[in-house]
């Protein structure tokens, strides 16, 4: 497009160059006189006569053959019309005006015209005062093919890259939900890439399915002996020992449930359904309060959203348990806005060091590592929450409160 534009601009510049009226008049008179003198002298003397006709601004030459115009020299149509207007007879002599090949500012003009015997008089005019008024509509018309070509090229490139865009979207969904093979289309290289991607997707989903089935089987096998242990605890005579063993068995059950929830082995993928989020959160708070813990709920009585109920219930419960584990009190609040619904869980605990806030969302990371296994859990609570919220298209944010403690916020976008 730059090349088309520059070329068109150059031709428009050449065609619109014009002389002042007095200069055009003087040049026309000089050409008429010079042509008449050269016509009257024999060809052997014309070279000398041409030299004598030269001035500081005008150079006259003579050639027995037609001058070569194969070099790029734009024609000066407007300027030529000015001169012919003063001396119409010059038009019959085949007057031609051009710019020099390497000089485009219009300060020097070349020309030639045919003499009566078929030979040619050449001339050069220097220090020309010209004006330039480009015709932008003609420039636009000349650029139109280039613009159309650019649009066509853009459409072709977009069509060629469309399979790659589909591949990019599919790559973001690997491991989330069911496998979705991509149609192999496009160039040979892109088809090969998509074929390799489909094979990789199959292998990844086979690994995930195998892991899920193995965990489900292990979970089922472990729950049976855990249930027998619960029953046998009733036969322990020592109340203190029975309580300690009960806590250990309960912790093992919670750890098993967390593992199965995190790795997706507890059940088939849950589908979103219309759920009363306010009732779900209030119930989780009531369950904690029924155990004698200090947990309160603030928010609407009813608020329906399309979410995965079981996963969201576990996520809210994990946040409440986490708040009560590190603090003595938990306040759960629902904030309903036009664009999003926020579930905020606040505690009065020590908070989290700023440099570790993102780190605690990593699976199996525990803040109280110094106490090794003296605390319950496997460091999966917040990771399970983050995974459940991400599946809903929401975000989980952890922030230390100015008055102390931590605020965990689940933001669910409406219509997500």
What is the distance between the alpha carbons of residues 281 and 296, in angstroms, rounded to a whole number? 10
What is the distance between the alpha carbons of residues 114 and 66, in angstroms, rounded to a whole number? 8
What is the distance between the alpha carbons of residues 387 and 395, in angstroms, rounded to a whole number? 10
DSSP secondary structure code for residue 258 in this structure: H
Number of H helices, E strands in the chain: 11, 13
pLDDT of residue 331: 94
233 burial via Cβ count (<10 Å: 0-12, 13-18, 19+): middle
What is the distance between the alpha carbons of residues 122 and 42, in angstroms, rounded to a whole number? 17
pLDDT of residue 20: 62
69 neighbors 5 (Cβ within 8 angstroms): no
Q: How far is CA 1 from CA 146, 148, 348, in A?
A: 6, 10, 66
Helices 188-233 + 239-263 axis angle, to 10: 170
The answer to whether residue 283 scores a pLDDT higher than 90 is yes
Distance, C-alpha 286 to centroid of its chain: 46
The answer to whether residue 180 scores a pLDDT higher than 60 is yes
In the structure encoding, which two tokens stand for residue 262, read together? 């995190």
The answer to whether residue 162 scores a pLDDT higher than 70 is yes
Look at 210 and 148; give whichever has higher pLDDT. Answer: 148
The answer to whether residue 266 scores a pLDDT higher than 50 is no
What is the distance between the alpha carbons of residues 168 and 46, in angstroms, rounded to a whole number? 79
Q: Is 296 helix (H, G, I), strand (E, B) or coil?
A: strand
363 neighbors 380 (Cβ within 8 angstroms): yes
Distance, C-alpha 145 to centroid of its chain: 29
Q: How far is CA 289 from CA 162, 317, 352, 409, in A?
A: 55, 12, 24, 21
pLDDT of residue 284: 93
Element (H, E) at 283: helix 277-290
The answer to whether residue 104 scores a pLDDT higher than 50 is no
Judged by average pLDDT, the poorest of 105-109, 137-141, 279-283, 372-376 is: 372-376
pLDDT of residue 281: 94
- pLDDT band, very low/low/confident/very high, at 99 (cuts 50, 70, 90): low
Which CATH number is associated with domain 270-413? Answer: 3.30.565.10
| Domain 2-134 CATH assignment equals 1.10.3470 | no
- pLDDT band, very low/low/confident/very high, at 242 (cuts 50, 70, 90): confident
pLDDT of residue 97: 67
* Tens of pLDDT, residues 293-343: 999 999 999 999 999 888 899 899 989 988 998 899 999 999 998 889 999
Judged by average pLDDT, the poorest of 11-20, 33-42, 212-221, 297-306 is: 11-20
2-134 against 270-413: fold identical: no
CB neighbours of 332 closer than 8 A, spacing ≥ 6? 281, 284, 285, 295, 296, 297, 298, 299, 316, 319, 320, 343, 344, 345, 346
Judged by average pLDDT, the poorest of 42-51, 189-198, 325-334, 353-362 is: 353-362
Look at 53 and 369; give whichever has higher pLDDT. Answer: 53
378 neighbors 256 (Cβ within 8 angstroms): no
Within 10 A of 182 (CB to CB), how many other CB atoms are there?
A: 17
User: Domain residues of the chain, as ranges?
Assistant: 2-134, 171-269, 270-413
Q: What is the reported pTM?
A: 0.47
The answer to whether residue 91 scores a pLDDT higher than 60 is yes
The answer to whether residue 125 scores a pLDDT higher than 70 is yes
Instruction: Give pairs for 234-240: CB < 8 Å, separation 24+.
Output: none
In the structure encoding, which two tokens stand for residue 380, read together? 């999966």
Cα angle, residue 202 at apex, residues 196 and 205 outer, rounded to 5°? 140
Give mean pLDDT, residues 81-102: 69
> Over the chain, what is the mean pLDDT?
78
Give mean pLDDT, residues 265-271: 57
Among 284, 312, 281, 276, smallest CA distance to 392 is for 312
Within 10 A of 45 (CB to CB), how many other CB atoms are there?
A: 12
Sign of the torsion formed by the C-alpha atoms of 82, 87, 88 and 92? negative
Q: Is 399 helix (H, G, I), strand (E, B) or coil?
A: strand
Give mean pLDDT, residues 395-416: 88
The answer to whether residue 260 scores a pLDDT higher than 70 is no
The answer to whether residue 105 scores a pLDDT higher than 90 is no
Instruction: Select, from the ranges 92-96, 216-220, 266-270, 335-339, the one with the highest average predicted confidence (pLDDT).
Output: 335-339
pLDDT of residue 303: 93
């Amino acid at each position: 497009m730059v090349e088309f534009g520059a070329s068109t601009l150059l031709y428009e510049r050449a065609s619109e160059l014009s002389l002042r009226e007095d200069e055009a008049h003087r040049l026309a008179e000089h050409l008429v006189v010079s042509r008449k003198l050269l016509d009257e002298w024999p060809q052997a003397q014309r070279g000398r006569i041409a030299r004598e006709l030269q001035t500081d601004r005008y150079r006259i030459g003579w050639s027995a053959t037609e001058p070569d115009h194969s070099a790029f020299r734009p024609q000066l149509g407007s300027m030529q019309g000015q001169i012919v207007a003063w001396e119409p007879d010059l038009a019959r002599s085949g007057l031609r005006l051009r710019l020099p090949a390497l000089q485009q500012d219009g300060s020097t003009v070349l020309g030639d015209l045919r003499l009566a015997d078929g030979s040619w008089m050449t001339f050069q005019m220097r220090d020309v005062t010209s004006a330039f008024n480009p015709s932008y509509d003609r420039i636009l018309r000349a650029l139109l093919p280039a613009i159309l070509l650019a649009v066509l090229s853009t459409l072709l490139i977009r069509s060629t890259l469309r399979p790659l865009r589909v591949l990019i979207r599919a790559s973001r969904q690997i491991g989330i939900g069911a496998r979705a093979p991509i149609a192999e289309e496009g160039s040979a290289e892109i088809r090969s890439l998509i074929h390799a991607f489909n094979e990789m997707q199959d292998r990844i989903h086979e690994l995930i399915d195998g892991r899920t089935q193995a965990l489900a089987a292990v979970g089922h096998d472990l729950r049976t002996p855990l249930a027998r242990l619960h029953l046998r605890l009733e036969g322990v005579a020592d109340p203190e020992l029975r309580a300690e063993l009960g806590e250990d068995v309960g912790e093992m059950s919670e750890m098993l449930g967390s593992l199965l929830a995190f790795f997706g082995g507890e059940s088939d993928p849950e589908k979103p359904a219309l759920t009363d989020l306010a009732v779900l959160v209030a119930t989780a708070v009531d369950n904690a309060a029924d155990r004698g813990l200090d947990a309160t709920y603030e928010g609407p009585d009813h608020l329906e959203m399309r979410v995965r109920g079981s996963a969201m219930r576990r996520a809210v419960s994990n946040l409440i348990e986490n708040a009560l584990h590190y603090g003595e009190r938990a306040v759960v609040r629902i904030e309903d806005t036009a664009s999003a619904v926020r579930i905020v869980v606040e505690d009065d605990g020590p908070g989290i060091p700023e440099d570790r806030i993102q780190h605690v969302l990593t699976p199996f990371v525990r803040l109280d590592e110094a106490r090794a296994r003296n605390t319950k859990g496997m460091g999966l609570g917040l990771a399970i929450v983050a995974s459940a919220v991400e599946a809903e298209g929401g975000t989980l944010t952890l922030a230390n409160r100015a008055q102390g403690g931590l605020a965990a916020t689940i933001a669910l976008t409406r219509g997500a």
